[in-house]
Amino acid sequence: MNLSNKKAGGILNPWSFLETEFNYREVSAWKDFVRIDQSFIRLAFFLHFLVYFLALIPEIQRSPHGTIYFGLVLSLNILSLVLSFQRKYLPAVIHGTNFSIIFLVMLILNESFYSFDDLHSLQLYNNYFLLVGFLVLFQMFRLKVKGCFLTATYSIVLHLGFIYFKLNNSSLPGFPLVLFVPDVVYLILSLIGTTIVVIVRRLVRISSELDSEYRFLQHELQIARKVQETLFPEDVSIKGFKYEVFRSTPNEIGGDFYDFIQLREGNTGVFLTDIAGHGIASALVASFIKIMVATMPYRLKLHPVRLLEYLDETLLRQFKSHHASAVYIFFDFISKEIHFANGGHPYLMHSQNGNDFREIETTGSILGFGIKRPIAELVSLPIQSAERLFLYTDGLIENRNPQGKQLGSEGLIEILNRNKSFTDLKQFKEAVQVELSAFFGDAEFEDDTLFLIIEME
């Protein structure tokens, strides 16, 4: 029922019709000149009703054949509207109709102002021919370079013809130069219209090139996204703990990254980093760090502080303009301990035995600046069953909701603690996401965002 009413409203409402008819959002539509001519004819049909306002002029009301001429104008526009639904001979339809309407309008003016007593009355009659200038300028909507000039040409010829015969039937001497004013206006308007057409067509060409480049880049970014996806660890089972992860990026690729490092004797390392900025450059640096972590000497993977120092030195040497924050956790299941170091990253959040989450405050410097040695402090915790670790990047707490408010670490802790009773890790993650969605509403994450939840078995 609602659908049928909507369709009926679109047909009966001229504004809805025009919105549908002139929907040129795609660049390719601006290059389809047949479609543009069809739209031009339909727009001209709506606007031609303005011609009938000439009937408000007292002299035209006394024209003996004015009704016939206006009827012919209407018939021509209806005929051109019907012909617009085919794609052949549209330029001939447009110029044929346009020439005929200009001729009929000038014929109405000629018949209505038949006799003159002086030059002033002749000038008054001549000024009405300026109205034809709108038809000249209107041709620019076809986006044809010669459209305005061609219309101006036969408008000038018709105007001079009517003036010539008018002067031959009057007692006024000579051919005053003031009578050429409409012709000068036609030429000026044709130049303006042609200039606008040239500019628009050039913009369309540039937009088309940009659109092609944009589509190419989007395709390349999609490939890059698939490649980057392979850098992240697969959904694998790791002995000793369970995990859940959430990732979001405003671009196809981003600079937030995490990885699991399988070590000897069943031990595991967890690495999480946030490359400054977002987009292609950050994604490339993240890929580089992934390779560094995978190929660095094995002994460094057993010591979080040394691992971060190695990354700090390499970034400073290779990417002086890029830096990153990172946290590395070494799970030693032999000694039942967790060792980690934090290099300028948001504090790790920790919960034991179902108690409240709390931040583990640490000191450490951002990687890539070579600020200090040691770059971070080493923190050790005993491994306890069912304890949870929550790691995240700053995009989560620095993003703003529609009211402009940031979540902040305090808001994040409140969300985690409100949902700590969920014993199933996946349900816990989903509950946290529901509250995050409620806080941010329709606001999209402006920066790369990642969080990783780890629960000890």
25 and 174 assigned to the same domain: yes
Interatomic CA distance for residues 248 and 281, integer angstroms? 17
Encode pLDDT of 323-372 as tens digits. Answer: 899 999 999 999 999 999 999 999 999 999 889 999 999 999 999 998 88
The pair of three-digit structure tokens given for residue 316, joined into one six-digit string: 């400073």
Whether residue 304 contacts residue 328, with contact meaning beta carbons closer than 8 Å, is answered with: yes
| Separation of alpha carbons 156 and 180, rounded Å | 9
Q: Are 292 and 311 in contact (CB under 8 A)?
A: yes
The whole-angstrom separation of Cα 112 and Cα 124 is 12
Structure tokens at 47: 């606007």
Q: Which of 144, 178, 211 is the last residue of a domain?
A: 211
Structure tokens at 184: 């000068």
Mean pLDDT, all residues of the chain: 86
**271 lies in the same domain as 377:** yes
Q: Within this chain, do residues 250 and 368 fall inside the same structural domain, yes or no?
A: yes
Asked if the structure places residue 97 within a domain, the reply is yes
- Kind of pairing between the strands at 358-360 and 379-382: unpaired
The pLDDT score that the predictor gives to residue 179 is: 80
Question: Is 10 a member of any domain?
Answer: no
Length of the chain, in residues: 457
CATH number at residue 306: 3.60.40.10
* Residues 324 and 431 reside in one and the same domain: yes
Q: How many independent structural domains does the chain possess?
A: 2
What distance in Å separates the CA atoms of residue 17 and residue 198, rounded to the nearest whole number?
A: 28
The two three-digit tokens of residue 13, written as one number: 């409402």
197 domain residue, yes or no: yes
Distance, CA of 349 to CA of 342 (rounded, Å): 12
Q: 319 and 432 share a domain?
A: yes
Domain boundary among 163, 178, 211: 211
Q: What is the pLDDT of residues 256-315, one digit of tens each?
A: 889 999 898 889 999 999 988 767 778 888 888 888 888 899 999 999 999 999 999 998
Q: Provide the residue type at 366 as one letter.
A: I
Residue 227 within a domain: no
The predicted structure's pLDDT at residue 275: 87
Residue 114 falls within a domain, yes or no?
Answer: yes
Q: Return the HEC string of the chain.
A: CHHHHHHHHHHHCHHHHHHHHCCCCCHHHHHCHHHHHHHHHHHHHHHHHHHHHHHHCHHHHCCCCHHHHHHHHHHHHHHHHHHCCCCCCHHHHHHHHHHHHHHHHHHHHHHHCCCCCCHHHHHHHHHHHHHHHHHHHHHHHHCCCCHHHHHHHHHHHHHHHHHHHHHHCCCCCCCCHHHHHHHHHHHHHHHHHHHHHHHHHHHHHHHHHHHHHHHHHHHHHHHHHHHHHCCCCCCCCECCEEEEEEEECCCCCCCEEEEEEECHHHCEEEEEEEECCCCHHHHHHHHHHHHHHHHCCHHHHCCHHHHHHHHHHHHHHHCCCCCEEEEEEEEECCCCEEEEEEECCCCEEEECCCCCCEEECCCECCECCCCCCCCECCEEEECCCCCEEEEECCHHHHCECCCCCECHHHHHHHHHHHCCCCCCHHHHHHHHHHHHHHHHCCCCCCCCEEEEEEEEC
- The sign of the torsion formed by the CA atoms of 273, 339, 362, 373 equals negative
- The CA-based angle 439-445-449, given to 5 degrees, is 100
11, part of any domain: no
Domain that holds residue 284: 236-456
**Do the domain assignments include residue 217?**
no
Beta-carbon-side half-sphere exposure of residue 126 (alpha carbons within 13 Å): 26
Together in a domain, 84 and 205? yes
| CA triple 132-134-138, angle to 5 deg | 125
Domain shared by 158 and 31, yes or no: yes
Distances in whole angstroms, Cα of residue 341 to Cα of each of 258, 307, 311, 379:
15, 9, 13, 6
The answer to whether 325 and 345 are in contact (CB under 8 A) is yes
- Read off the tokens for 3: 């659908």
Residues 179 and 247 in one domain: no
Residue 222 in domain: no
Which pLDDT score is estimated for 35?
Answer: 86
Q: Are residues 250 and 169 in the same domain?
A: no
User: Which of these three, 155, 176, 211, is where a domain ends?
Assistant: 211
Q: Which residues of the chain have pLDDT under 70?
A: 1-22, 24-27, 114-119, 169-175, 252, 278
- The answer on 428 and 279 residing in a single domain is yes
Based on the fold, state whether residues 204 and 241 are members of the same structural domain.
no
